């Protein structure tokens, strides 16, 4: 540990350094992740030292709880953190205390019962079907293979609810346009087969026939569906830029708020608004738990009330 932390007792500093070495060597975490843990622990051990703690054994549950409160308010002299940043920092603190208990540096885990503050539930940002249509139309403006690719990419994302990483990872063999389906590889290498709508099928067919061959000729041969101008697989960053440019061309208000996930959120929201079952949407999105999918129901309360009123036998008297 370094950076103006000479006031930190040696025992605390050594325990923190041992934990960081454990993360880097035994758990194999990336340098960036270890650096983030180092910053979080530097602030924490400085806080512990300011309260008169000289070793991990001196720390009490109240110290940990007060530190969590200080993260939110900046009472320790550091920056006040958002709930998500506080949760990350608390995770580092709890991991360190578990390590210290396991290594015999403390009699137990004093952080076991400490939890970060609850985070506000953030609603997905969906756009209207009209805005989606304007973006898709704008993506296909112009001549050459790139507009054909851009229209096909965004049509596919909105038609299937694919994550942008799933879309750019597609190989030609993953497409079954005749059968109207695509095979997506989601988180945890979990595969799912998702229907592809007629608009997306037509856009993909046009790109594969008239656009992709020209792009592929610039490269060394790749099975990727979506290619850049050098004939290599399109990156997520480039796909993001495709959507941002289309949103600007379409005259969408605040185009900077439009991201590839916006189309995914809109896909789910529009399906639910149309009466789709939440568990069907869960399968289409590739969510491991229906709880994750249910957040989309919060953005269509009017539709839900209408369905409830029409379907429940005692909704109306």
* Catalytic residue (choose from 151, 264, 265, 270): 264
Give the active site residue among 43, 163, 233, 265: 163
CB 21: neighbour CB atoms within 10 A?
11
C-alpha 307 chain-centroid distance: 31
User: Which tokens belong to 122?
Assistant: 């953030």
44 is a catalytic site residue? no
From the list 22, 88, 244, 261, the catalytic residue is: 261
- Is 54 considered catalytic here? no
* Helices 145-160, 129-139: inter-axial angle, 10-degree rounding: 150
Residue 296 designated active-site: yes
Gap between the Cα atoms of 101 and 58, Å rounded: 13
Name the active-site residue from 187, 210, 257, 305: 187
51 is catalytic: no
Q: How many CA atoms lie within 13 A of 219 on its CB side?
A: 18
Per the annotation, the verdict on 163 as an active-site residue is: yes
Spatial distance between the Cα atoms of 38 and 41, rounded to a whole number of angstroms: 5
Q: For residue 138, what are the contacts with CB-CB under 8 A and spacing of at least 6?
A: 246, 247, 249, 250
Give how far Cα 252 sits from Cα of 236, 259, 263, 266, Å: 21, 12, 13, 15
Q: In this structure, are residues 157 and 300 in contact, taking their beta carbons and an 8 Å threshold?
A: no
In whole angstroms, what is the distance from residue 308 CA to residue 72 CA?
40
Mind telling me the catalytic residues? Answer: 163, 187, 261, 264, 287, 296
């Amino acid at each position: 540990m370094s950076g103006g932390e000479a006031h930190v007792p040696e025992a605390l500093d050594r325990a923190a350094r041992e934990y960081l070495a454990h993360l880097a060597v035994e758990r194999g975490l990336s340098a960036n992740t270890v650096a983030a843990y180092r910053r979080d622990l530097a602030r924490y051990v400085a806080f512990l030292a300011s309260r008169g703690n000289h070793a991990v054994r001196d720390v009490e549950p109240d110290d940990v709880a007060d530190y969590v409160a200080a993260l939110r308010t900046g009472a320790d002299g550091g920056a006040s953190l958002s709930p998500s940043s506080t949760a990350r920092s608390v995770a580092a603190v709890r991991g360190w205390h578990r390590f210290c208990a396991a290594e015999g540096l403390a009699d137990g885990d004093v952080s076991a019962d400490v939890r970060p503050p609850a985070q506000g539930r953030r609603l997905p940002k969906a756009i209207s079907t009209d805005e989606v249509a304007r973006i898709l139309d704008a993506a296909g403006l112009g001549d050459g293979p790139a507009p054909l690719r851009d229209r096909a990419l965004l049509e596919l994302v909105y038609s299937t609810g694919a994550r942008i990483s799933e879309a750019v990872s597609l190989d030609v063999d993953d497409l079954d346009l005749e059968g109207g389906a695509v095979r997506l590889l989601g988180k945890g290498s979990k595969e799912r087969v998702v229907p592809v709508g007629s608009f997306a099928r037509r856009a993909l067919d046009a790109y594969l026939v008239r656009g992709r061959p020209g792009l592929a000729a610039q490269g060394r041969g790749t099975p990727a569906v979506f290619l850049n101008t050098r004939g290599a697989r399109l990156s997520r960053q480039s796909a993001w830029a495709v959507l941002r440019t289309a949103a600007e061309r379409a005259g969408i208000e605040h185009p900077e708020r439009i991201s590839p996930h916006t189309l995914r959120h809109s896909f789910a929201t529009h399906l639910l608004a149309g009466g789709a079952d939440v568990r069907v949407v869960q399968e289409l999105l590739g969510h491991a738990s229906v709880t994750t999918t249910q957040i989309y129901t919060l953005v269509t309360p009017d539709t839900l009330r209408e369905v409830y009123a029409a379907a429940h036998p005692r909704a109306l008297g």
